[in-house]
Structure formats: C-alpha cells, structure tokens
Amino acid sequence: MTSVELRQKYLKFFQGRDHKIIPSASLIPSEEVELAGTERVLFTTAGMHPLIPYLMGKSHSEGTRLVNVQKCLRTDDIDEVGDAVHNTFFEMLGNWSLGDYWKEEAITWSYEFMVNELKLDSKRIYVSVFAGDNDAPFDQQSYDTWIKVGIPEDHIFKYGKEDNWWPTGGEKPGPQGPDTEMFYDLDPRSKSPIDPSANSQRFVEIWNDVFMEYERQADGSYTPLKQRNVDTGMGLERMLTVLQKAPSIYETDVFLPLMKKIEDMTDFFSDSSARIVADHIRAAVFLISDGVSPSNVERGYILRRLIRRTIRHASLLKIDQNFLSEFSKVVIKTYENIYPDLVEHQQLISTELQKEEQKFKNALAQGLKNFEKISGNISGQQAFDLYQNFGFPIELTAELAKEKNKKVDLNDFEKLLKVHQNLSKSQSQKTKGGLAVQSDIAARYHTATHLMHQALRDELGSHVHQTGSHITNERLRFDFSHDAKLTDQQIQKVEKIVNEKIKKNLPVHKKSLPKEIADEIGAIGLFREKYGDLVNIYYIGESDDPKIAYSKEFCGGPHAKSTGEIGDFKIIKEESAGSGIRRIYATIKS
C-alpha cells in the first residue's frame, strides 16, 4: 500500500464514521494554540496540538468528530535520526472525539481499521493499557474492549505512566490521560522477549489511542477535564514500514526517490549520513514552506541547525556540488499533491536553502580543517572559535567530538558566548549614541513581566503560570492560568508587590544552567525547545545566588539591568482569555 493510499483509506474510514476531515495545520503553532496550551512549544509536535483549544472545551466549527493527517516536527530525538525508525519531520494520522465517543468505539475502530482495511495479521498485534497508579485507576474498559474485539489476554500488556499515559509521564500541566498503544510483531518467529514496549527491534509501535479525561494542574493535582476526549495518533512513516515490509522508514515510498537521488550522487554511501541528509532536508523544506527562515534564534535556529547538519553529512558522503535546492525539488515532487503549498513556495524554499548553503559551505571546510588540528579534548575557547569564525553550532562541534571520542568543555563555551554577547550588545548600544544609559523600553517591560508573574504567584498561588506574553512599546500583555476573575484587592496587591520590587532596585542576573538544575532551583516560565543541556535563566534578587532570588525564569531576554529602570508599574485591565486563562494589560512610566 502506498502512502497516498494509506492517507486516503484512513480519512475515508473515519469519514464513514461521521468524522469531518480537517486540513493539516502549520508546523508553527498559531497564537491561539500558544495561548490555550499550558506550555509553549516551538513546533506542532502531534496531531492533537493544533486542537488544544477544542480539547479544552472550545466548540469546533466542524463538530465533535474530526480526522486528519497532520504535519509534525519533533527535535527531541534528533540524535537518533540515522537509525531505522526516527524522524524529525513526520506525518501523523489522527482521529478525535471532542466529548463525543469514548473508549469502546475508539478501540473497536482502531482494530477494524488495522485488520479489515490495512489487512494486518491480527495474531501479530499486541497492545498495552494503563496499569493504574495513585493518580488514576487501571484502565479496565480499554482492557475489556481489547478482549471483546478478539485480542488474546497474552497479547495485552499493562504498563505505568512512563508508557501508557499521554503526554508521556504526565509531569506537565494540561489535558492528559491514559492511553492504549498498539504494536506490530515484525518477527513472529523470533525467540526474543515478548515485551512490546521494551523490545523495539521486534515490535514497532503503530498507533496510540489517548483517552483524555484529566487536567493536570500546576501543583500536580488532577481534576476532571470539562469534556472527555479521544485523541489518536498513528505515525504515517512507521505504518508504511509495516505495510511496505520496508527495513527502515527510508525505504518506504515517501523517502525512496530522495534516497535514490542521494545514492546517485555519491560513491561513498553510508546509511546513517544519507538518512540524516534525507530526514533533515525534508524537515527544512516543510519548515521554510511554513514561513521559517534560518537565523540564530528559536525556530530559525533549529532550521539553521538542520540545514547545517545536512550539509555536513552530505560532505561526509562527498557530495560537494550545491545540492540542497536539487534535493528540495525531490521532496516537493513527492508531496506536491498532498501539500500543494510546497509547490507555491518552491522558489522561496530554493532561495533560502541556497543562501544558507553558501553561507555555511566555505566556512565548513575551513572549520573542519581547524577542528582536525585540535589534539586532545576541545576547550571552550576552541569550540567558541569554531562557532565565531566558522559558524559551527555548538552541537556540531559536540557531534564531531563524539565521533573522535573527544570531550567539549561546554561550560566554558557558554561563558565565552555570554561575554561575547554582552560585548556585542554594549557595542550596539554605543552606536546608538548615549542612548545606552537608558535601557530599552521593551527590556523594561520584559523585566516588569517577570516581576508580575512572580507577584501573581505570591498572591494567587503556584498554579499560576504563563500561557502567553506580548510586549509593545506602550504596554505589556500577559496571559496566565487561573480560574477566577481577579478582585480589585488582588490587582492592587500585585501592583504593590511589583512596585516594591522596583523601588528596591534589585539587580537582574542571567545564568546558563543545565536544565535539570534550573528546574531544581524552581525556575519557572515557558518551556524552550533546546538542543544542549544548558538553558538561560534570568533571576532578580540582591544575591548572586539564583536559588534565593525573588523571581527566576527560563528566558532569552533582553532585560533591564536592575528593577529600578522599570519605572512605575500599573495594571490597566484584567479579563478572561479563554477557559481557565486570565489576561492582564499593564503599563510602566518613568
């Protein structure tokens, strides 16, 4: 079965069960999704992601049964790309019940689709259900339904939150619940252990039905979700490997033309480099088409990193001519009928790729030469030189080092980077002529936002956390999780706390810390997608020690140097911004 047939069959099957087909959303989450979500993610990471407002109770114009094929991008497994099953970009087939059908229908349809439509061998299907813990009971209904459709007892496994809960582990606030996963036995004659979640050589996970019935609060407690939803997700590429009996996702029809092109261009074929090139170029094409351009921050940085890694692995394959634009055409051709906007953006995609290729290529050759010259481990200074002189993202240096069994002094690198950033900041301030004495208005608003975030938590409780923020030169706007309208007293109290902190003229510090340590000392704020272990936190307090600071948040800045720069702080409006979300507008005056 081809990928085209699989997409069609899936949509049609659920359409026949009263689902409305909705189009794939962009890889860039909309502002509405960002505001409704309890944590910020840079990209659409699952089919359910664009639907968060509707899973939280908003009514959907297409009704309560939805189905689609969604473009997704996940970078957490980027280091795994190159093996048989991992991708950054992928497509997810999903069907949803927004407070409509529940476990029995969802499981029965999953089974019918796999066996009747895809003709999978029912004897090779294994499933897992949630075993139960202190937060939620054993998922008896899912278990019983699997028995009812004909899955034998010894094909049903019970696992805890680490396997049968979505989002995995359930440590973050937001809608969640137990799930039931479906696996396919790739090698029924094998004598290897029958434990689907632990034996990924033999069992491939093909589908996940999530039963969202809880909302996890910031304090770790669970409350029933306003409406019970079903969220299912099937990885298109993984299912294709099963259907096409392919040894890896790269040998399914969505990748074959590109892999062939890569093979044709090299006499030094290596599976893993070719797969990295194929995966990353495909992701880059879709990202550019959705409006991302290479840069040094956030989404643009991820794109830059994907492109630069593609170039490096192509150079390992000794593909030297400019190839990115050529490869992008193969990707676009593969998907032109499914995502016609790729064709529309073909020129832009090509230009962006060529520009980035040009920028990085010359530097790469020189940089590699310099890298080879380093004997022993790599110091922070050496890593920094590669970054500054040759545009090597630190991860690239780390990857090269790993190949050669060398270590990189990441701590020292971060320190040098910080000094460099401060230096360029002060240089650019100097060029503005005198203005540098007064910190930038947006930075002052930004610092005021941090103070207010903490003041809200002081006054209302630690369930308060940011769901969105927007700053202009005239005001700040801040969205946060809280169930009730703020009283006048509460508003006055928050203002008072913030103004007190401003009067104390507390210094604002910045530190790069390993994510785990930042979490440990209680840094709050929006999750930032990251590659290394280090995250930036800004903290506000007398002492240099972030542990005892008044406010500490994950953040990219910029900020005022000290709170005194902010000026008088005033809340001008408080209103609802959706269910369980409040919005505050505030101004500052010098």
Q: How many CA atoms lie within 13 A of 211 on its CB side?
A: 21
Return the residues of window 357-416 that contact ligand SER according to CB under 6 A. none
CB of 233 to ligand SER, least distance (A): 2
- Nearest Cα residue to 114 out of 184, 186, 185, 67: 184
Instruction: Tell me the window of 226-234, 394-402, 543-551, 572-580 that interacts with ligand SER (CB under 6 A).
Output: 226-234
- How open is the CA angle 176-182-187, to the nearest 5 degrees? 150
70 makes contact with ligand SER (CB under 6 A)? no
Which residue's structure tokens are 């079965």? 1
Distance CA 561, CA 292 (A): 31
CB of 36 to ligand SER, least distance (A): 16
Residues near 176 by beta carbon (within 8 Å), at least 6 away in sequence:
165, 166, 167, 170, 210, 212, 214, 215, 216
Whether 390 and 396 have beta carbons less than 8 Å apart is answered as: no
586 makes contact with ligand SER (CB under 6 A)? no
294 makes contact with ligand SER (CB under 6 A)? no
Contact pick of 27, 55, 210, 555 for ligand SER (by CB under 6 A): 210
206 makes contact with ligand SER (CB under 6 A)? no
50 makes contact with ligand SER (CB under 6 A)? no
- Nearest Cα residue to 101 out of 109, 93, 112: 109
Number of residues that bind ligand SER (CB under 6 A): 10
Element (H, E) at 477: strand 476-481
Contact pick of 170, 174, 175, 233 for ligand SER (by CB under 6 A): 233
Residue closer to ligand SER, measured from CB, 47 or 50:
47
- Nearest Cα residue to 69 out of 117, 128, 8, 151: 8
- Nearest Cα residue to 513 out of 530, 489, 526: 530
CB of 175 to ligand SER, least distance (A): 10
Whether 234 and 10 have beta carbons less than 8 Å apart is answered as: yes
Among all residues, whose Cβ is closest to ligand SER? 233
Distance CA 9, CA 209 (A): 18
CB of 166 to ligand SER, least distance (A): 5
Instruction: Tell me the window of 45-53, 154-162, 428-436, 440-448 that interacts with ligand SER (CB under 6 A).
Output: 45-53
Distance CA 104, CA 98 (A): 15
Distance CA 514, CA 301 (A): 19
CB of 305 to ligand SER, least distance (A): 23
Return the residues of window 111-170 that contact ligand SER according to CB under 6 A. 166
182 makes contact with ligand SER (CB under 6 A)? no
- Nearest Cα residue to 103 out of 183, 234, 210: 210
CB of 406 to ligand SER, least distance (A): 36
Instruction: Tell me the window of 42-50, 324-332, 378-386, 552-560 that interacts with ligand SER (CB under 6 A).
Output: 42-50
Binding mask 87-116 for ligand SER (x = CB under 6 A): -------x----------------------
Residue closer to ligand SER, measured from CB, 47 or 580:
47
* Cis omega (within 30 of 0) for bond into 558: yes
Contact pick of 22, 36, 41, 47 for ligand SER (by CB under 6 A): 47
Instruction: Tell me the window of 40-48, 63-71, 190-198, 399-407 that interacts with ligand SER (CB under 6 A).
Output: 40-48
- Nearest Cα residue to 276 out of 245, 240, 328, 316: 316
* Cis omega (within 30 of 0) for bond into 167: yes
Contact pick of 91, 139, 215, 231 for ligand SER (by CB under 6 A): 231
25 makes contact with ligand SER (CB under 6 A)? no
In the chain the first and final C-alpha atoms are separated, in Å, by 67
232 makes contact with ligand SER (CB under 6 A)? yes
**250 exposure class (CB count in 10 Å sphere: 0-12, 13-18, 19+):** buried
Residue closer to ligand SER, measured from CB, 47 or 367:
47
Angle, in degrees to the nearest 10, between helices 346-373 and 298-316: 70
178 makes contact with ligand SER (CB under 6 A)? no
Contact pick of 36, 46, 306, 518 for ligand SER (by CB under 6 A): 46
CB of 52 to ligand SER, least distance (A): 11
Residue closer to ligand SER, measured from CB, 166 or 480:
166
208 makes contact with ligand SER (CB under 6 A)? yes
Binding site for ligand SER (CB under 6 A): 46-48, 94, 166, 208, 210, 231-233
